Amino acid sequence: MTRTRAHLHNPAAAALSSWITTLTLAVACNDVAPTGVSDATLAPTSDSPAELDGQSPGPRSDAFSPSSGGSGSGASGGNGNGNGGNGDNGGNIAGAPTAGTGGQAGADAGGLLPPAPGSVSYTYASSCSPPTETIAPGDTLLGYVDAFPNLPGFANPVAFAAASDGRLFIVEQAGRVVSFVNSPGESSVTTVLDLTSVVDGGGEKGMLGIALHPDFTTNGHLYVNYIVRSGDRFSRIARFTMSAGNPTVADPASELLLLSVQQPAGNHNGGDLKFGPDGYLYSSFGDGGGSGDQYGNGQNTASLLGTVIRVDVDGGTPYAIPNDNPFVGGGGLAEIYAYGLRNPWRISFDRNNGRLWAGDVGQRGFEEVNVIENGKNYGWPITEGIGCYEADSCNTSGLTEPVALYPRAQGQSITGGFVYRGTQIPWLVGTYLYADFDTSRLWGYRYGDPTPTSELITGPANVSSFGEDLNGELYLLGYSTGRIYTLTGSGGQVTYNIPTTLSAMACFSSLSTMTPADGVLPYELNMPLWSDGASKTRFLVLPNGTQIDVQASGEWLFPDGTMWIKHFELQTDPNAPSSRTRLETRFLVQSARGLYGFTYGWNAAESDATLVLNGDTRTLDLGAPGNTTSYTWNLPSQSECLKCHTVVSGGILGPETAQLNREAIFPALESAGPLNQLDAFEAYGLLNPVQASPGSLPRFPSLSDAGASLEERSRAYLHSNCSNCHRSGGTTGTALDFLATSSLTAMAVCNVNAAGGNFGTSSGLLLSPGNGDDSVIHARLTGSGANRMPPLGTTLFDDTAADVIRNWINGIASCP
């Protein structure tokens, strides 16, 4: 389909129309030209915006400390579209057209005004399109639906309990317990208990568990596990009693403290609570946090950290110890039931046989499913998964292996679930279900089955917990969505028929030159994601006849069927451009069912690339000949794509107004000068609504933009590299907000302790005013292994960004 709008109104109309009609739109996208394309064709020489005539790549709006007009090239007259400025130079290149003397003088000197919105004929891509989909019959397949669509949203729900009177209880992480009647049409909730004024929430902290006494309807006893901070940080297990005058709410004054366990860090708290079929109360504790069991609790039976405990709440006040607990006779704390766990996130009992299941979050190798038994040692940190942790060999005698596991290439944070014992999905009965918080994958495992665990579906986003009602039906709590889902047996599993080679995708008319096919639009970003210094070329493919909805916030909303393509190359010898090596070409697709991604790894001849679904690596030698070091590039698995492309970020990283508001040289129009990408998209008629002039819109600077302040560059970098997770409602659960539009106070970093430890700093502060080297933000950008941020896709740190951010912090005198 061809979309046509009005005619161009500037002198370059004929050339621009001819060029766009054929769509040879090889915009300068990255560090260097793809193999086979001369460097003269593409303007930028690094994966940062092109510096045109020695300047930054366009005007900044008030959001990023604007200057007045700036200066274009006096020789060329600029584009005549600046914000005023020096009349001799014509204003900023492709800035906002105004009546200012500078901008008009440039236009009079022969500069190019931006084409009118919708004035250029645009041909949508025909050969390059998303993979076809096959939907299998749904009678034996799994799906999910919103179980209570009329209920208001929950604020970060993390735990679930069912009462015998038909009520369901939900724990919100900040410290609130609510209840409602278990009916699909229910529309209201009751606040049962509100401890938000005392709970230390955020990150992995907060109120994390709930259990109702087996005789709850008689005694009204409700147990919660929550983090409190008064000086030091503690996990508390406490009992509350429902009010005699109003049995739907708990009496805050009735609290009975069972135990309090000091937490050295803010992560790995465990925090689940369940009553077993023996009537005893079980609770899970993580290893105390940090990284790599840095506090030494995993094998320390003198600590309750890294354990599952079991106590008898009816045998004494506040509890008694069951006679058969493993350390009743000594050798460890009597409350311990099992140990050697890293962060057991959600435990449950199989209602048919009493078997206790736990999902244990891994460090860097595997996510574990464990069956917890009396006195067993589950190996952490001697082992992770079924192998030694950070050692070539280890003594595994006396250690219990997980019954199921998956590598971290498939997920990053297990959420333990339940064995299904309901009646609505007969074929699922007896299957233990568990999920991955980061990738939304849902798996099933049958105890004793020698075959590998099977992936069932991609479930709802960020499943924080499972719940089981009186009938054995299961529920999934969506942490970021605030919804409760239930499973259905008629999901209609979708298979994406992804071509096995890049050439078969037909998105490039020539792979040797990486020339995009008709309708495949290259684009550039002002502040790209750091990828170990790799060159990245980006392309956009819109479905036939569609537009992009641009929000007032600067967010871009794309129609279903949109594809984004990102091509990676790495120059292995810094002194030899010919050493540039093709690594992979990634695709991200927005389907009606959500986002999914896949990548193609290039062959040695660089003639084509082959589909990689489960992750892979490429080993390269970096450096000048005779002084090289071995480097491993990781190609992501499909599930890893969704680790970064989070629901809370909208899933699409990069294409937004502040990132795309920049100029690029178009190959067929070098003589006409640069065009702003927003003007180009407007000319195609692809933006809805029509946007204001670029000079009045936000624009991120590049790291090398000397015209931008250290704060502007730092904030843009953190936005691009960190805010997909670290923002309000983000998947980390922390209060951190790295959106560029957030104030320093709203960032929640200044003089704030890091949740996961000190990370090699003496202060332990995320941002220590005036001391960048002692700030955790800087330490994590320059860290290695599990301490690195961002946590995926990099093994080399960005020293330029680290310097900019350190110097920005050094210049902060005090917190607001």
CATH of the domain at 381: 2.120.10.30
Mean pLDDT calculated for residue range 522-549? 93
pTM surpassing 0.85?
no
In this structure, is residue 138 part of a structural domain?
no
Q: Is the pLDDT of residue 477 over 90?
A: yes
From 435, 460, 492, the end of a domain falls on 492
Which residues sit opposite 596 in a β-bridge? 589
| Residue position matching structure tokens 């909208």 | 650
- Of 13-27, 338-352, 414-428, 475-489, which range is least confident? 13-27
Query: Of all helices (H) and strands (E), which one includes residue 591?
Result: strand 580-591
Mean pLDDT calculated for residue range 177-194? 97
From 492, 511, 526, the end of a domain falls on 492
Specify the pLDDT at position 729: 65
Instruction: Report the C-alpha gap between 768 and 771 in whole angstroms.
Output: 5
From 708, 743, 761, the end of a domain falls on 708
Mean pLDDT calculated for residue range 258-266? 95
Diameter of the chain measured on Cα atoms: 93
pLDDT in tens, 60-81: 333 333 232 333 333 333 333 3
In this structure, is residue 815 part of a structural domain?
no
Instruction: Report the C-alpha gap between 356 and 350 in whole angstroms.
Output: 7
Q: Quick one: 337 and 436 in the same domain?
A: yes
Specify the pLDDT at position 426: 84
Amino acid at 151: L
pLDDT in tens, 407-446: 887 888 999 999 999 989 888 899 999 999 988 889 999 9
Q: Quick one: 760 and 699 in the same domain?
A: no
Q: Quick one: 635 and 738 in the same domain?
A: no
Mean pLDDT calculated for residue range 748-752? 93
C-alpha 394: how far from its chain's center? 34
pLDDT in tens, 617-669: 999 999 999 999 999 999 988 877 766 766 666 677 888 999 999 987 544 34
In this structure, is residue 58 part of a structural domain?
yes
Pick the closest to residue 465 from 348, 363, 290, 308 (CA basis).
348
Specify the pLDDT at position 39: 29
Cβ contacts of 66 within 8 Å, gap of 6 or more: 59, 60, 83
Instruction: Report the C-alpha gap between 796 and 570 in whole angstroms.
Output: 13
Specify the pLDDT at position 215: 96
How would residue 493 be classed by pLDDT, with cut points 50, 70 and 90? low
677-684 and 13-22 helices, crossing angle to 10°: 80
Provide the token pair at 588. Answer: 């991200």
Instruction: Report the C-alpha gap between 808 and 729 in whole angstroms.
Output: 26
Q: Quick one: 478 and 467 in the same domain?
A: yes
Q: Is the pLDDT of residue 707 over 50?
A: yes
Determine phi and psi for 354, rounding to 5 degrees: 80, 5
pLDDT in tens, 370-417: 999 999 999 999 999 999 998 889 999 999 999 999 988 788 899 999
Specify the pLDDT at position 452: 63
- Of 346-350, 408-412, 473-477, 740-744, which range is least confident? 408-412
Mean pLDDT calculated for residue range 472-501? 89
In this structure, is residue 137 part of a structural domain?
no
Report yes or no: 244 and 231 within 8 Å, Cβ to Cβ: no
C-alpha 561: how far from its chain's center? 22
Q: Is the pLDDT of residue 40 over 70?
A: no
Report yes or no: 735 and 202 within 8 Å, Cβ to Cβ: yes
In this structure, is residue 399 part of a structural domain?
yes
Q: Quick one: 704 and 716 in the same domain?
A: no
Amino acid at 638: Q
Determine phi and psi for 799, rounding to 5 degrees: -70, -30
In this structure, is residue 556 part of a structural domain?
yes
Q: Is the pLDDT of residue 603 over 70?
A: yes
In this structure, is residue 801 part of a structural domain?
yes
Specify the pLDDT at position 68: 29
Provide the token pair at 758. Answer: 């000190």
Specify the pLDDT at position 111: 38
Provide the H-helix boundaries in 94-241.
Answer: 101-108, 216-219
- In three-state secondary structure terms, 507 is coil
In this structure, is residue 644 part of a structural domain?
yes
Specify the pLDDT at position 459: 87
Q: Indicate the average pLDDT of the chain.
A: 83
Specify the pLDDT at position 137: 57
Q: Quick one: 192 and 317 in the same domain?
A: yes
Q: Cα separations (Å) of 97 from 88, 106, 190?
A: 16, 10, 56
Q: Quick one: 226 and 115 in the same domain?
A: no
Q: Give the 3-state secondary structure percentages of the chain, helix then strand then coil, rounded to 5.
A: 15, 30, 55
Q: Quick one: 704 and 576 in the same domain?
A: yes
Per-residue DSSP letter, 667: G
| Residue position matching structure tokens 């560029």 | 740
How would residue 109 be classed by pLDDT, with cut points 50, 70 and 90? very low
Instruction: Report the C-alpha gap between 67 and 337 in whole angstroms.
Output: 65
Q: Quick one: 242 and 169 in the same domain?
A: yes
Question: Which carries the bigger pLDDT value, residue 303 or residue 410?
Answer: 303
Cβ contacts of 388 within 8 Å, gap of 6 or more: 382, 394, 396
Specify the pLDDT at position 228: 95
Which residues sit opposite 177 in a β-bridge? 171, 193
Specify the pLDDT at position 642: 66
User: How many structural domains compose the chain?
Assistant: 3
pLDDT in tens, 114-134: 667 766 777 899 999 999 987
Report yes or no: 299 and 323 within 8 Å, Cβ to Cβ: no
pLDDT in tens, 766-787: 999 999 999 999 999 988 776 7
Domain containing 670: what range? Answer: 2-126+498-708
Q: Quick one: 57 and 20 in the same domain?
A: yes
Q: Is the pLDDT of residue 151 over 90?
A: yes
Mean pLDDT calculated for residue range 694-709? 92
Q: Quick one: 24 and 166 in the same domain?
A: no
Q: Quick one: 593 and 566 in the same domain?
A: yes
Specify the pLDDT at position 470: 95
